[in-house]
Chains A and B, each alone.
Chain A
């Protein structure tokens, strides 16, 4: 007899009716069709023909369409299905909680990584229509990107046809003391063109911006919103005059809330117009490239058109000014918060973080997949019954996907808000690295870009995480169930779970190896020889008073400071050791200046005559500066060993001369000193020059004092700064600290990278341990019957535990092997990026292996312990 119900069921499969209603309709229609078939048989039709005619009456879309309309199947299936998913997940709340937490951790890491990526590479300044803003950069014949000079900026500004406005700013910041009546503040300020705010399209929170009128001579300043708040937030501050050294400066306005300028990193307190920069050389000299122009594209002008226009102007400049602009080109780029020469580093850092984040996300997903598979195993009876009642595989998969979606959405939301809260706190923290250094400010708060990317990640997660368990679990082993077999799809699922744990362990190992390499690199950096004696040194920058020459002021300071108890020596320079500032000079040896490749950039320091003895920098040949080196005597220079070997390998450079491009001067080499570190600990050995302050008194206006003490230097910071204020009350001391502070600042970026990677490593470790715990638990629970029998037959719990731990150890070891292999490859790759890292860092690999194996075995032991202690009768009863 034909099964008419199956025919009806097949035609109703796509309707997604409520199961009980569907069953009732199938029964009723099945009977009608059976009656119809019987009628046709009674009319004398052969059975086959009667069947065909009956089936023909069921064909077509009319039946399902009619029933769909009649049953008013709701468009949103979710309203019926999701409460069921929530009920199921609530019933297995422990597994659900672990899955949601795993995913929340992984998502929080992802959002943090995405926010960093966004802040460094994607987020434009808080300006109006930022997509219409571009920055303009000069490109040297060698292909390096540079800023432009002031004359170049003016030329582009006055002759372009593609920008409605072209402003300019300097990526560097200045620290200047401003007297606000009752308090003197060290103001972090940036110099910008008059039309800077106008081009950016922002409106003042109070007052106005610069007028854009070149004839205005008054000194003006615009405060940032946060700085204005720190000063009290009083709108009446607009129009007030404050003292900046000898000058009076008028506060003309306050920038809007949320506007932080166009430079990522330092929190700018105020903006001053370019005309307030007190250095005429910067405005006249075409070789002083210190500005970055920002242009707002005219309506209907695209970047390509702007590039073409700017290239034409650059060609004209190269033709008109070959001395400074020969073979120089110009490039237009979307405006970012980072200088162009930092973009490569920022990209490397960001993509590294994203790679680590991706691995943590993968580890989290592997965990959730494992847990959902375990959950589906626990519900195999329910799956069996539903399949037996006619639920198609498609329906079972859809139900499981909906449950996975609930877990993914919940985990993603929690993770997103965790990251948001954490990043908000971080931004509010305003870390100060060393005394007097301005706080770093990177806006890491997630914006709509990060939210959009998070939603995409969440959707991909839902499918990725839900599909495997859904597909595996939607084929319940009906035959196995009929024969009483309890392990439904056991071997295949166990293998899948083990593979997931191996993957998690490999990822965790890899990330931990990365963290270990970062830590190792920091250790190597700490051991880098500085080249000078770093014992008991205190540094401070001092801004001298306006009514005294620097040398007179310094003489007084040196005398007074040296008189302090415990101070052994005091010296002066324009840059601290390890804190080189100022641009390099272009130099070439005399007689070879016509050869282009003989010219190199060399950094320099203006120093006092006792500088080398105070810092115990060995003098290798010749002499240091002395009283014969005066302002109008022939200019002399002391070079370091690297510069001497560069131009005169194996020869004596004493008496030879260098041609300096700036000022086209010849200087005679009177001494050679040992190499040392000048800026960063991981810098390659740089060529370096020293000039005498006594020969350049007008250049050495800011004083960097180095004081040697006979005890812990930190104890002398306060007495020294107090003495300086006693000598000159309006003097400001900044960047005050010890050499440890300088070293810490040099190590800041490696430490930040280490903190990020190790943070992610810990997350990955937690996730993989959760995976091991879950896998071991489910494996053991599936073998409950076997364990019970073995215990009942006299098996020792210790032996059982050893067997379970051996299995866990095998899985962990495989994951570890894969992770270590990848880690060794990573060591080789990172060798060039992390200082001092060797091809194979055995201490890191051994340390990570030991940590992972011990934690994995401990976790497996804790997971298996409750099952091994089970009462054999209890286990056997459930057979």
Chain B
């Protein structure tokens, strides 16, 4: 069952983690925008969702920072799509963000008394 998250929490959490999500999903292989949005929804069990209005501005910002790189790919029988992949700098940033996120979650857990079963 899809867990319900309040809209406020959804927005606040997404703000802090959006970049980490995108970079993580591109770590394995290049993906296009639609694929990224479907993956986020499916991997999060429906908790997180990015529509076109929130996803692409983020992708373009990351591209401007040269953390990801986009290129057009023509495949036979398919629409021409723009695929994004991590750059070397993007990988460094991903490592740093992951480490920060772990430290952040651990700190919150200690204070808020979150225990894992």
Contact = CB atoms under 8 A, between A and B. Distances in A.
Contacts of A71: 60
Determine chain B's interface SS by DSSP, over half rule: helix
A689 to B, nearest CB: 94
Interface stretch (A62-70, A405-413, A466-474, A768-776): A62-70
Contacts of B37: 32
10 nearest CB pairs, A to B: A66-B57, A70-B57, A63-B53, A70-B60, A62-B53, A35-B34, A32-B34, A70-B61, A57-B51, A28-B82
A848 B96 CA distance: 86
24 contacts: A25-B56, A27-B80, A28-B56, A28-B81, A28-B82, A29-B56, A31-B32, A31-B34, A31-B80, A32-B33, A32-B37, A32-B55, A35-B34, A36-B52, A57-B51, A57-B52, A57-B53, A60-B53, A62-B53, A62-B54, A63-B57, A66-B54, A67-B60, A69-B57
A58 interface: yes
A787 B31 CA distance: 61
Contacts of B52: 29, 32-33, 36, 57-58, 63
Interface string B31-56: 01110010000000000000111111
A21 to B, nearest CB: 10
B73 to A, nearest CB: 12
Contacts of B57: 63, 66-67, 69-70
Among A28, A31, A62, A72: residue with most chain B CB under 10 A: A28
Nearest to B36: A32
A29 B52 CA distance: 7
Nearest to B78: A31
B13 interface: no
A185 to B, nearest CB: 77
A29 B33 CA distance: 9
B74 to A, nearest CB: 12
Among A31, A33, A36: residue with most chain B CB under 10 A: A31
A468 B13 CA distance: 53
A67 B81 contact: no
Contacts of A63: 52-53, 57
Contacts of A24: 82
B79 interface: yes
Nearest to A39: B38
Given A31-B81, A67-B57, 6 more contacts: A27-B80, A28-B56, A57-B53, A66-B58, A69-B61, A70-B56
A67 B51 contact: no
Interface string A60-87: 1011001101111000000000000000
B64 interface: yes
Interface of A: 24-25, 27-29, 31-36, 57-58, 60, 62-63, 66-67, 69-72
Contacts of B32: 31
A30 to B, nearest CB: 9
Contacts of A25: 56
B79 A66 contact: no
A67 B64 CA distance: 12
A250 B81 CA distance: 95
B55 to A, nearest CB: 8
Contacts of B82: 24, 28
A66 B34 contact: no
A34 B34 CA distance: 10
B58 to A, nearest CB: 7
A354 to B, nearest CB: 55
A70 B64 contact: yes
B34 to A, nearest CB: 4
Contacts of A70: 56-58, 60-61, 64
A69 B54 CA distance: 12
A71 B61 CA distance: 7
Contacts of B60: 67, 70-71
B79 A31 contact: yes
A34 B79 CA distance: 10
Among A32, A60, A62, A72: residue with most chain B CB under 10 A: A32
Contacts of B58: 66, 70
Contacts of A57: 51-53
Contacts of A69: 57, 61
A34 B33 CA distance: 12
Contacts of A28: 33, 56, 81-82
A788 B51 CA distance: 61
Contacts of B81: 28, 31
A62 B51 CA distance: 11
B85 to A, nearest CB: 15
A66 B53 contact: yes
A746 B70 CA distance: 84
A58 B37 CA distance: 15
A67 B59 CA distance: 10
A741 B55 CA distance: 88
Contacts of B79: 31, 34
B17 to A, nearest CB: 17
Contacts of A33: 52
Nearest to B63: A70
B36 to A, nearest CB: 10
Nearest to B58: A70
A36 B34 contact: yes
Contacts of B53: 57-58, 60, 62-63, 66
A66 B50 CA distance: 13
A628 B69 CA distance: 119
B80 A66 contact: no
Interface string B81-95: 110000000000000
Interface string B14-43: 000000000000000000111001000000
Among B37, B51, B58, B80: residue with most chain A CB under 10 A: B51
B39 to A, nearest CB: 13
B66 to A, nearest CB: 14
Nearest to A63: B53
A57 B53 CA distance: 8
Contact of B56 (A36, A67, A72): A67
A100 B47 CA distance: 64
A60 B51 CA distance: 13
B78 to A, nearest CB: 10
Nearest to A31: B79
A28 B79 CA distance: 10
Nearest to A59: B53
A41 to B, nearest CB: 15
Among A36, A58, A70, A72: residue with most chain B CB under 10 A: A70
Contacts of B54: 62, 66
A69 B60 CA distance: 10
A36 B58 CA distance: 19
A62 B53 CA distance: 6
